[in-house]
Structure 1
Amino acid sequence: MKQIQVIGIGAGDPDQLTLQAVRAIGATDVFFLLDKGEDKAELVALREQMLAEHAHRPHRVVVARDPDRDRTAATPGYAPAVDDWRRRRADVFERLLIDELADGACGAFLVWGDPALYDSTLGTLEEVHARGTVDFDWTVVPGVSSVSSLTARHRTGLNQVGRPVQITTGRRLAEGGLPDGADDVVVMLDARRAFAPLAGQGLHIYWGAYLGTPDEILVSGLLDEPLAAHITRVREEARARKGWIMDTYLLRRPAARDDRS
């Protein structure tokens, strides 16, 4: 049977690799890297840097093009667009496991952050396994997520004492507003600047882009209109300079003093 490891490699800093991730890299025969195009070639290069340092046994690196995804689909078409992208991604995974990994060998996917948090690798492997065209098993190595990296870099906790926290996407925040009952809301995958309409509501924002990399950008403060405009400007300038952006932020509603314990 073929073995697959899904290895969380942190938000961008090579030093965020856990000892478990290092051992898993050292036990891998074939690494599958997904190329997202020229703009994100440095993401592949960073993975290759990690392999150069930690993959000591003989191994191969197989690079495949990640299928393009329609991120502009309106809400009624969003789920079908994601389903189509996942099916095409499963086709790529299936071909890699059949053609590039020998029976009894160990392959690995290196996943940004933590594989359990807004990443499709696990779901894609489940779909390939359900097809029954290739016999394999898989294990998961957790990683330092962009959420953990964000709060660490801003030197703050993820939640307030005894208060709930919620993780959501920019799309859901833009469509539904701040979730009820959550004083701390982490927002990922935000292409809409969903924080901007929330300016002036007494929220505090902790924003970060390219976390853990030399290009890291951090902004925090009371989310008023000037700060929202500043983050928007910084974000647009960074995207224009690099061709892509990965950002995460925490919105905090300060708890009333009599709620604190």
Structure 2
Amino acid sequence: MRRILVIGIGAGDPEQLTVQAIHALNRANTFFLLDKGQEKHDLIGLRHEILDRYIEQPSYRLVEARDPARDRDRTTTNYPPAVDDWRHRRADIYERLIRDELADGECGAFLVWGDPALYDSTLAILEDVLARETVEFDYEVIPGISSVSALAAKHRIALNRIGRPVQITTGRRLSEGFPEGVDDVVVMLDAHQTFSQFTNEDMDIYWGAYVGTPDEILVAGPVAQTAERIAELRAQARENKGWIMDTYLLRRTRQNREIRETPEDR
């Protein structure tokens, strides 16, 4: 039986790898790397750095494949079908890699940014491949430090407050309105700087881009005072690197939270 390891490698700092992840790296015979093009070549470079640093017996194989491009125009206008199509094309690649590049009894690995269980498609794609019944394999998931936990650590904050929930959502969903019943919302995959919709409300933002890397940028403060600066920094960073990975926490202020409390909360 072929075996696949899905290894969370953290948000960008090679020192964020857990001991469990390092042990997993040393169990694999073959590493599958998806190349996202020249603009994001440094993402491949970081994976190479991790392998060079932590693998004790460098007799492994590297197999690279080109990651299928997403139709950004279609994603904007018809999101679920566009994502399903992209995932299906990715599954075609995963199927071929596992079938053709991994022999029975061998162990392959995918290195996943952050944590494989949080806004990542790898697990769903592997399930898709298994459902096709064209290649047999088992897989194991090794958790990693997510961009969310790395962001909170960098800003020295807890994600939740006493007795209150925290919600993780996307920029697309946030654009529909601030979620009801929560005061602390972590936002991921926001290409349109949706936080700028809340400059007239009593909210703080804790924002970070490229968290854990040498290019890390952090900003915190009232949304009304920081939104424009974050937008400028984000635009500059995207122009310089050609891509950006960022996330943020939106937090209603303590005063506003207390006003919104119900008798049941007290």
TM-score interval for Structure 1 and Structure 2 normalised by the shorter chain: over 0.9
Q: In the alignment, residue 240 of structure 1 is paired with which amino acid?
A: E
1:114 corresponds to? 115
Aligned to 1:197: 197
Distance 2:183 2:160 in 1: 8
Give 2:239's aligned residue.
240
Q: Using the alignment, how far apart are the partners of 2:24 and 2:121 within structure 1?
A: 20
| Offset, 1:96 | 0.2
Does 87-96 or 251-260 show the bigger shift? 251-260
Residue deviations 1:209-250 (CA, integer Å, cap 9, x gap): 0000000000000010x4211100000000000110000000
- Which structure 2 segments of 5+ residues have no match? none
> 2:151·2:207 contact (CA, 8 Å) conserved in 1?
yes
Aligned to 1:24: 24
1:20-59 equivalence runs, <5 A: 20-57=20-57, 58-59=59-60
| Equivalent residue number for residue 180 of structure 1 | 180
What's the CA shift for 1:46? 0.3
- Contact 2:186-2:249 at 8 Å conserved across structures: yes
On the 8 A contact 1:32/1:63 being kept in 2, the answer is yes
Identity of aligned residues (%): 60
2:38 partner amino acid: E
What is the DSSP-based 3-state SS (H/G/I as helix, E as strand, rest coil) of the residue aligned with 1:61? Answer: strand
Superposition deviation, residue 75 in structure 1: 5.9
TM-aligned CA deviation for residue 254 of structure 1: 2.5
The one-letter amino acid of 2:200's match is G
**Could you tell me which residue of structure 2 aligns to residue 251 of structure 1?**
250
Q: Is the 8 A contact 1:203 1:222 kept in 2?
A: yes
- 1: CA distance between counterparts of 2:71 and 2:156? 35
Distance verdict in 2 for CA 1:178–1:66, change over 3 Å: same
CA distance in 1, matches of 2:163, 2:64: 45
Aligned residues: 259
User: Displacement of 1:55 after TM fit?
Assistant: 1.9
Distance 1:20 1:251, change over 3 A: same
Q: Could you tell me which amino acid in structure 1 is paired with residue 112 of structure 2?
A: V
Structure 1 gaps of 5+ residues are: none
In 2, distance between residues paired with 1:173 and 1:246?
17
Distance 1:67 1:145 in 2: 24
Which aligned runs of 4 or more in structure 1 are off by greater than 6 angstroms?
A: none
> Residue type matched to 1:243 in 2?
G
CA distance in 2, matches of 1:189, 1:236: 15
* Partners of 2:154 and 2:9 in 1: CA distance: 17
User: Are 2:33 and 2:110, in contact at CA under 8 Å, matched by a contact in 1?
Assistant: yes
Distance in 2 (alpha carbons) for counterparts of 1:190 and 1:233: 15
Paired amino acid for 1:158: L
Q: 1:28·1:55 contact (CA, 8 Å) conserved in 2? A: no
* Equivalent residue letter for 1:24: A
For 2:40 and 2:104, locate their aligned partners in 1 and report how far apart those are by CA, in whole Å: 32
RMSD: 1.4
User: How far apart are the structure 2 equivalents of 1:144 and 1:198?
Assistant: 29
TM-score (norm 2): 0.94
1:1-261 matched pairs, under 5 angstroms: 1-57=1-57, 58-73=59-74, 77-174=78-175, 176-224=176-224, 226-255=225-254, 256-257=257-258
CA contact under 8 A between 2:166 and 2:182: conserved in structure 1?
yes
Provide the C-alpha distance between the structure 1 equivalents of 2:36 and 2:171, rounded to a whole number of angstroms.
Answer: 21
Distance in 1 (CA, whole Å) between partners of 2:75 and 2:238 is 22
Change (3 A) 1:84 1:257: closer
Q: Report the alpha carbon displacement of residue 73 of structure 1 after superposing the two structures with TM.
A: 3.0
Q: Is the 8 A contact 2:75 2:83 kept in 1?
A: no
